[in-house]
């Protein structure tokens, strides 16, 4: 080998080991840098015309395990998803409070029962009546608080979704800006450990927010897609868009998370698509799960609880009478018009009572089986009472008024043959003397028969949206007014060319309209987008009458209030039994009658039929037991998410440890490498020094 060849060989050794020392120093300097993966200098023999010509750097590689990096991103997404859910459940548990505390919903129910027991001892005591009404009001306030806070949490989840979408866009832009730098470094063979570290950090941030799949390009850059393959960054950049509603209520329709391609100036250059069904994990998925599922399930359960409590209390308030009787009883808004069949069996007495002496002025007992519709029954009552009182049904609202302002009115079922429509007496069904009310009744045993006329207008329609378990919109279906009866409308709902392809609707014997998925689908949800129907000009929509969609059930816990008239005058609390055997002039109501108070007290042990709501299956339990189930289910959800977080945290830590063992900087190993490279550099330098001596000898000869 010539002297020049020796020089070139020693120089290659110097340069190569110098680069290796530089890479090692970078590794040591970044020993505590998050996301940094150590680099390794790979060398190979340099040959010229078949002759060895020293050494050269073949590559400077990040030491990574692609499988572990993918697993780490996946575990990061999964952990982030359940962590944000746990945070929301922690806040919800703070709202619900300790079930054992005196301020919990269960404690407030117990306090109502205690007040009822005290009232039964002395029903005429106004202070005891006020105490009972106060405890019921406190319970109602607590229900309202829970409802409002759950909807507030849904709104917070939606707001955080918008913030997360903005952060995703920023991170994608950051990665997009790194791509050309990585491509340049790769094409020039430059060391790119720093750039790769920045990329790894950005990808880690992105994985916390949304599940991603990474593909390295042949040029050295990256392509990013969701785990199911929807692109977020390929030949150009994609951006997400989500406009969070300002106010969130039970019926709020949330916009989709849209995605579109942009140019270098971030200007949209493609049509938008719905990214929602492609989001499988990450913080964004966790927020969607809270907003659309877990919090909704809890609010539906709360609505079912509120609806049954109101129904039970109102049943007793409507069964008994106040002393003295009120001058007017006015019911709630219903879907019933005068031309409808009454749907009642049994008998009810309509009476007018002297307000001063509680003596009977006039009465009539109606056997509903004798009257074809409400118009006929109302006319019969008015004919019998004459100038003493009047019954009226106006736009779905029933009212009963004594003509003389000094008199009162009583509606009482005949004990041996009480009126009944879907399990409720006449006064209870129309809410003539309700103690509690809310934004929605929450009870949808309508008592309607499929052969009855629906009295809908020809131009009225309902717009439904069908979504699958992943939140993808499968169809938007409009159902217009069809035929003349409820059976005709239900047949249209079951039309397999429309909604019937996804759901099967059935009108139960008690008038409930139930629906379930057809055999071809699983995990579908049905949303009412818009309903312009009006049953018999009552202002009640078709979906509102039957409670179709979660909105109606949820809002049974919204604005729950105790009748203001009764709160102002506790004597209007109905505790007395009307004496149906009394003749005109006889005393038919007795102040201090404890039978109504005892009926209220019996609610503590009475079994109530609850429908399935959220995660709670239908069951026959007491009101107090269902309160405990509601609170227990909320706690169970919180515990379940906490367990998932702990499991995913352990998994992530294990993956991180294994990934660090491969990619992390080991100081002992780096120091050992440094010694090797330093010795090799020194040896190459000595060779070069020896060659310089040979040149000096040659020059001295010359």
Number of residues in the chain: 702
Positions of the chain with pLDDT under 50? none
The helix or strand, by DSSP H or E, that contains position 390, with its residue range, turns out to be: strand 389-394
* pTM attached to this predicted model: 0.89
Q: Measured between alpha carbons, how far is 374 from 446 in angstroms, rounded to an integer?
A: 15
Q: Any bridge partners for residue 530, and if so which?
A: 463
Closest CA to 567 of 143, 130, 139: 130
Nearest alpha carbon to residue 400 among 326, 317, 330, 334: 330
Is the dihedral angle over the CA atoms 51, 55, 60, 66 positive or is it negative? positive
Alpha-carbon torsion, ordered 199, 204, 206, 207, to 10 deg: 140
Write a three-state SS string for 571-615. HHCCCECCCCCCCCCCECCCCCCCHHHHHHHHHHCCCEEECCECC
What is the CATH architecture assignment of 323-432? Sandwich (2.60)
DSSP H or E stretch at residue 67: helix 66-96
Q: How far apart are CA 231 and CA 72, in angstroms?
A: 20
Beta-bridge partner residues of 510 = none
Q: Where in 321-388 does DSSP place strands (E)?
A: 328-330, 347-354, 360-367
Q: Tell the residue number behind the tokens 């868009």, with chain if given.
A: 241
**Residue among 204, 201, 209 nearest 163 (CA):** 209
Retrieve residue 7's tokens: 């020089």
Residue among 454, 478, 447, 484 at smallest CA distance from 464: 478
DSSP-assigned letter for residue 244? -
pLDDT tens track for 238-261:
999 999 998 999 989 899 999 999
Which tokens sit at 594?
Answer: 């404890």
Long-range pairs of 371-375 with CB within 8 A, sequence gap ≥ 24: 371/342, 372/341, 373/338, 373/339, 373/340, 373/341, 373/342, 374/336, 374/337, 374/338, 374/339, 374/340, 374/342, 375/338, 375/339
Three-class SS string for 482-493? CCCEHHHHHHHH
Calpha distance 565→568 (Å, rounded): 5
Q: Encode burial over 78-96: b for 16+ CB neighbours within 10 A, e otherwise.
A: bbbbbbbbbebbeebbeeb
Query: Of 205, 203, 255, which is closest to residue 70 (Cα–Cα)?
Result: 203
CA separation for the pair 697, 693 (Å, rounded) = 6
The DSSP symbol for 424 reads B
Eight-class DSSP state of 397? E
Strand partners, 390: 401
Q: 50-54 long-range CB contacts below 8 Å, 24 or more apart?
A: 51/1, 51/5, 52/9, 53/5, 53/8, 53/9, 53/12, 54/8, 54/9, 54/10, 54/11, 54/12, 54/13, 54/16
For residue 37 the two structure tokens come to 């993966």
Distance (Å, whole) CA 216 – CA 89: 38
Neighbours of 665 (CB within 10 A): 21
Distance CA 296, CA 550 (A): 8
pLDDT at site 63: 67
Among 464, 472, 479, 463, residue whose Cα is nearest residue 521: 472
Helix, coil or strand: residue 700: helix
* CA distance from start to end of the chain: 21
Output Rg (C-alpha) for the chain, integer angstroms: 38
What pLDDT is stored for residue 24 in this prediction? 78
Distance of CA 335 to the CA centre of its chain: 30
β-sheet bridge partners, residue 609: 620
Q: Is 155 in a helix, a strand, or coil? A: helix
**What confidence score (pLDDT) does residue 94 get?**
93
* Of 246, 203, 180, residue with least CA distance to 66: 203
Mention every residue, 6+ apart, whose C-beta is less than 8 A from residue 48.
none
Asked if residues 181 and 191 have their Cβ atoms less than 8 Å apart, the reply is no
């Amino acid at each position: 080998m010539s002297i020049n060849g020796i020089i070139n060989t020693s120089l290659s050794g110097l340069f190569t080991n110098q680069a290796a020392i530089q890479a090692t120093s970078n590794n040591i300097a970044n020993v505590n840098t998050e996301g940094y993966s150590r680099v390794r200098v790979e060398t190979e023999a340099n040959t010229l015309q078949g002759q060895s010509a020293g050494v050269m750097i073949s590559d400077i590689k990040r030491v990574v395990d692609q499988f572990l990096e993918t697993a780490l991103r996946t575990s990061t997404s999964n952990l982030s998803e359940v962590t944000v859910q746990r945070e929301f459940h922690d806040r919800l548990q703070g709202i619900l409070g300790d079930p054992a505390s005196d301020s919990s919903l269960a404690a407030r129910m117990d306090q109502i029962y205690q007040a009822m027991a005290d009232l039964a001892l002395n029903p005429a005591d106004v202070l005891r009546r006020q105490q009972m009404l106060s405890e019921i009001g406190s319970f109602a306030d607590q229900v309202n608080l829970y409802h409002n806070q759950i909807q507030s949490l849904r709104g917070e989840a939606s707001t955080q979704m918008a913030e997360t979408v903005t952060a995703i866009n920023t991170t994608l832009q950051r990665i997009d800006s790194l791509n050309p730098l990585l491509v340049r470094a790769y094409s020039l063979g430059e060391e790119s450990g720093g750039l790769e570290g920045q990329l790894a950090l950005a990808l880690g941030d992105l994985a916390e927010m949304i599940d991603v799949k990474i593909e390295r390009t042949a040029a050295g850059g990256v392509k990013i897609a969701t785990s199911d393959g929807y692109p977020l960054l390929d030949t150009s950049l994609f951006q997400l868009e989500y406009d969070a509603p300002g106010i969130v209520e039970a019926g709020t329709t949330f916009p989709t998370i849209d995605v579109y391609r942009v140019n270098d100036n971030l200007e949209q250059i493609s049509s938008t698509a719905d990214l929602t069904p492609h989001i499988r994990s990450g913080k964004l998925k966790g927020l969607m799960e809270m907003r659309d599922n877990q919090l909704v399930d809890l609010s539906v359960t709360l609505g079912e609880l509120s609806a049954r409590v109101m129904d039970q209390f109102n049943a007793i308030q409507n069964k008994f009478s106040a002393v003295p009787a009120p001058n007017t009883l006015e019911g709630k808004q219903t879907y019933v018009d005068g031309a409808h069949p009454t749907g009642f069996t049994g008998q009810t007495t309509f009476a007018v009572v002297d307000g001063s002496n509680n003596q009977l002025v006039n009465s009539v007992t109606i056997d509903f089986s004798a009257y074809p519709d409400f118009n006929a029954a109302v006319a019969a009552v008015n004919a019998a009472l004459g100038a003493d009182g009047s019954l009226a049904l106006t736009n779905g609202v029933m009212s009963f008024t004594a003509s003389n302002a000094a008199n009162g009115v009583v509606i009482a079922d005949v004990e041996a043959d009480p009126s009944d429509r879907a399990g409720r007496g006449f006064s209870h069904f129309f809410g003539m003397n309700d103690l509690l009310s809310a934004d929605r009744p929450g009870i949808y045993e309508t008592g309607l028969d499929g052969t009855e006329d629906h009295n809908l207008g020809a131009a009225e329609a309902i717009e439904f949206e069908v979504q699958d378990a992943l939140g993808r919109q499968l169809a938007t279906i409009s159902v217009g007014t069809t035929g003349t009866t409820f059976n005709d409308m239900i047949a249209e709902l079951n039309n397999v060319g429309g909604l019937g392809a996804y759901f099967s609707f059935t009108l139960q014997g008690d008038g409930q309209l139930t629906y379930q998925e057809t055999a071809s689908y699983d995990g579908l949800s049905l949303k009412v987008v818009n309903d312009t129907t009006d049953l018999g000009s009552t202002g009640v929509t078709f979906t509102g009458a039957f409670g179709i969609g979660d909105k109606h059930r949820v809002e049974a816990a919204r604005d729950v209030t105790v009748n203001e008239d009764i709160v102002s005058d506790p004597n209007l609390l109905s505790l007395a039994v009307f004496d149906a055997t009394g003749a005109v002039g006889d005393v038919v109501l007795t102040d201090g009658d404890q039978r109504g108070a005892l009926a209220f007290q019996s609610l503590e042990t009475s079994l109530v039929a609850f429908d399935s709501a959220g995660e709670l299956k239908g069951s026959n339990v007491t009101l107090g037991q269902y309160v405990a189930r509601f609170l227990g289910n909320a706690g169970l959800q919180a515990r379940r998410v906490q367990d998932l977080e702990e499991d995913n945290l352990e998994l992530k830590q294990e993956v991180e440890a294994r990934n660090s063992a491969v990619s992390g900087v080991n100081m002992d190993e780096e120091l050992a490498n440094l010694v090797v490279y330093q010795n090799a550099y020194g040896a190459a330098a000595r060779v070069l020094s020896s060659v310089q001596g040979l040149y000096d000898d040659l020059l001295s000869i010359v």
